[in-house]
Amino acid sequence: MKAKGQRLKAEVGKLLIVGLGSNLGDSRRNVLRAMERLQAFSERPLLKSSLWQTAPVECPAGSPVFVNAVVAFVPWRGATPESMLACLQEIEREFGRKPKKVLNEPRPLDLDLIAFGNETRAGRKLTLPHPRAHERRFVLQPLSEIAPELVLPAQKKTVLQLLGDLPAAAELTITKLPAVRSRNLSSCKQY
């Protein structure tokens, strides 16, 4: 585990971090298949969190619970935050995501670009790091499993410290899941 942490620190300037969530359809399977799909964009095996079942946050009344996870990886050479955002959005569409009609409505797959190395952006289509990641237990809890000492761009505290600063939330429970096979889904360019 220590070697993994040292490798992570050495590559932190290159790490792409993606938050995964699903609360429509077979959410567990959607998240696991999306993890497999994201492997195609990484130079090395993904760092993957456990799957977490979480209560919906700022969602319409009656929204189903989410399955959330986080992955981190070093993207292929030539990838940019903008190109990876486009790929994440394409993967969401392949999983059946439709254009939003209601803010935070249920969805089969939600892929959030949390961070892309030390890059920062403040645009209409892309903000890096993700503007609310440091406030969201459903991001920080899984991220703390794979990168507890990571300091997100624009933050001064580690992921573990940020997590410790959040109010207690009993709605998070770890879910142990069997592996699910997936199929290759997209033609999105690999870098």
Task: Find the catalytic residue in 29, 37, 93, 112.
Answer: 112
Task: Find the catalytic residue in 26, 29, 37, 107.
Answer: 107
104 Rama class: left (phi>0) / alpha (psi -120 to 50) / beta:
left
Q: For 64, which DSSP code? A: P
Identify whether 110 is a catalytic site residue.
Answer: yes
β-strand pairing of 47-48 with 66-73: antiparallel
Burial class (CB in 10 A: 0-12, 13-18, 19+), 8: middle
Identify whether 112 is a catalytic site residue.
Answer: yes
CA-to-CA separations, 171 to 54, 106, 136, in angstroms, rounded: 6, 18, 13
Task: Find the catalytic residue in 37, 97, 136, 137.
Answer: 97
Q: Which residues contact 177 (CB under 8 A, 6 or more apart)?
A: 28, 32, 51
CA 95/CA 109 separation, integer angstroms = 6
Task: Find the catalytic residue in 28, 29, 33, 110.
Answer: 110
CA dihedral of 43, 115, 122, 125, whole degrees rounded to 10:
70
Question: Which residues are catalytically annotated?
Answer: 97, 107, 110, 112
